[in-house]
């Protein structure tokens, strides 16, 4: 069992590295909820298999899977992918798993935030979420690293760091009263710095239009390198996303990072807009306590929601006219990495994308 620490990461000399730093591996959770993944989760599992095989070409992959799905997942996944039987509520390991931090000597530790399914009883997306709230400590056990367990409700997709002192987030999510209603903005900033080893927060007002996570930043804007931010964008002023992206752009262009550098912003045109079809909605089980899925509802599609791995970037694509431009932008942003694509629609139907269902473990000693 991992040692639970009572100190603070920053005080112990630890910080969260940028995602582009070397990884020791990547975690995912095998999908199976039929009230979130259509047609018995089989279409989603096919995409998971492709994503897992892609990441596993570059770094070790561990997949958490229930006892019900263990044999199915083992039969679908390559033998070099590690499977661990684990109880979870759903497959969003970015949000339920730990955030890893590392010190100057290469020691790695985990930060296991509290999880309440994106809002608890005030707008959360499913109930119960108790198994997902334990994923963080369980992953730290598997990695044999000590764990910090702050009394802060936070999902990994709600933050993004440059590894050099700056953290990016949204007011829409972190200041939402359904997360930490008793904490002020200043108290939340202090907790972020204490656990991520950062010194500056850049607050964007909102995330992607109709993002059911209450505006996670990893779907809206992320660091591609220190001083470089990629931003979901649309030129269509009649689209509700335009105002959100424009206000984020204004904040980013006026900001400097923790090192005092201005930010270069790279706009990534959104796919679509995309909407759920009648066939897709009809394939999802209707269960009390879960997020309803209805035909015609707009999906929060974004090319920002990618995974940066060892020598690769895995980018979701949507059979959309903007796919090619997104790939080209990534090739410029990450010239030293192979840009690999996976179909993003099935993941998007469940409420997120590639970044939301992956969690990197930084390399260490």
Residues annotated catalytic, as ranges = 356
DSSP 18: P
In whole angstroms, what is the distance from residue 126 CA to residue 128 CA? Answer: 6
In whole angstroms, what is the distance from residue 303 CA to residue 326 CA? Answer: 7
Distances (CA, A) of 176 to 153, 214, 216: 11, 8, 11
Phi, psi of 49 (to 5 degrees): -60, -45
Alpha helices, DSSP H only, in 291-333? 323-333
In whole angstroms, what is the distance from residue 337 CA to residue 57 CA? Answer: 13
In whole angstroms, what is the distance from residue 304 CA to residue 217 CA? Answer: 9
Q: How many CB atoms lie within 10 A of CB 78?
A: 11
Question: Helix count (H) and strand count (E) of the chain?
Answer: 10, 20
b/e 211-229 (16+ beta carbons within 10 angstroms → b):
bbbbbbbbbbbbbbbbbbb
In whole angstroms, what is the distance from residue 227 CA to residue 121 CA? Answer: 38
């Amino acid at each position: 069992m991992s040692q639970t620490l009572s100190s603070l990461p920053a005080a112990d000399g630890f910080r969260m590295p940028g995602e582009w730093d070397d990884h020791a591996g990547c975690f995912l959770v095998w999908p199976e909820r039929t009230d979130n993944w259509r047609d018995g989760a089989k279409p989603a599992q096919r995409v998971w298999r492709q994503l897992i095989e892609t990441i596993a070409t570059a770094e070790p992959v561990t997949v958490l899977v229930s006892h019900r799905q263990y044999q199915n997942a083992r039969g679908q996944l390559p033998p070099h992918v590690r499977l661990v039987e684990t109880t979870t509520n759903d497959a969003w390991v970015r949000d339920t798993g730990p955030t890893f931090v590392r010190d100057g000597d290469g020691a790695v530790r985990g930060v296991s935030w509290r999880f309440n399914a994106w809002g608890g009883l005030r707008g959360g997306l499913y109930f119960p979420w108790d198994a997902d709230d334990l994923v963080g400590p369980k992953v730290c056990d598997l990695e044999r690293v000590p764990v910090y367990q702050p009394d802060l409700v936070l999902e990994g997709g709600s933050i993004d760091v440059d590894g050099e002192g700056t953290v990016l987030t949204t007011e829409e999510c972190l200041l939402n009263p359904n997360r930490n209603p008793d904490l002020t903005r200043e108290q939340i900033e202090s907790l972020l710095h204490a656990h991520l080893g950062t010194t500056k927060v850049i607050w964007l007002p909102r995330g992607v239009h109709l993002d059911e996570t209450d505006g996670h930043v990893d779907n809206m804007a992320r660091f591609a390198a220190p001083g470089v931010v990629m931003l979901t964008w649309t030129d269509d002023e009649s689209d509700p996303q335009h105002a959100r992206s424009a206000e984020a752009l204004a904040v980013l262009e006026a900001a400097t990072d923790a090192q005092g550098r201005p930010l270069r912003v790279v706009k990534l045109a959104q796919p679509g807009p995309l909407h759920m079809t009648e066939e897709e909605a009809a394939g999802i089980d209707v269960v009390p306590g879960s997020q309803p899925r209805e035909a015609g509802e707009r999906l929060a599609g974004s090319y920002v929601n990618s995974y940066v791995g060892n020598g690769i970037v895995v980018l979701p694509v949507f059979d959309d006219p903007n796919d090619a431009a997104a790939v080209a932008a990534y090739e410029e942003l990450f010239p030293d990495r192979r840009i690999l694509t996976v179909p993003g629609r099935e993941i998007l139907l469940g409420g997120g994308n590639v970044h939301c269902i992956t969690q990197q473990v930084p390399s260490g000693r």
